[in-house]
Amino acid sequence: MTLIIFLFALGIFLLAAEVMVPGGILGLAGGFLLFTGCVASFVKLGPIEGLIAIAGSLVAAGVIFYIQFKILPKTRLGKRFFLNREISGTSTALKDDARDLIGKTAQSVTVLSPSGYITVGGKRYEARSQSGQIPSNTELVIVEANHFQLIVRTKQ
């Protein structure tokens, strides 16, 4: 009987802890422990007690999920665990006119080690150094353009 209570208690605890640790591992482990506790109830205590254990597990899981998704997000602690804003940034490839920049002079805005930012004609681009680290405020030449970066080298 002690083992069954332990399995249920640990399973419920892991289901509750799932909201704090992303990934689903704790939830799966908690569900497995609840299932194991139900099987142990059937084997050691009998079919009526096993059905009571299943009903208790379902009710406990339902209460935990209700608290996690309806009550917790409204609390001060819960607001730290849930996203309340949408992330709207996107990654965009360089346009075809970036190929027109090949051969033009650029200025490094940040240290290119090997990636960083450059300016060309007042516009800021992400760039990658063709050979090693390049300090900021260095005059550069654009030698290539791939889908997301310009490839640069120091001007000689």
Average pLDDT (122-146) is 88
Q: Which CATH class is domain 96-154?
A: mainly beta
DSSP annotation string for 102-132: TT-EEEESS-BSSEEEEEETTEEEEEEESSS
pLDDT digits 0-9 by tens, 90-114: 556 676 677 778 888 999 999 988 8
CA angle 47, 49, 53 (to 5 degrees): 110
pLDDT at 14 > cutoff 70: yes
Are the CB atoms for 109 and 120 separated by under 8 Å? no
pLDDT at 87: 66
What rounded mean pLDDT belongs to the chain? 85
Count of Cβ atoms closer than 10 Å to residue 118 Cβ: 26
Question: Taking the domains of the chain in order of start, what are their residue ranges?
Answer: 2-81, 96-154
pLDDT at 41: 92
Q: Percent of the chain at pLDDT above 70?
A: 92
pLDDT at 147: 72
Stretch among 16-30, 86-100, 107-121, 134-148 having the lowest mean pLDDT:
86-100
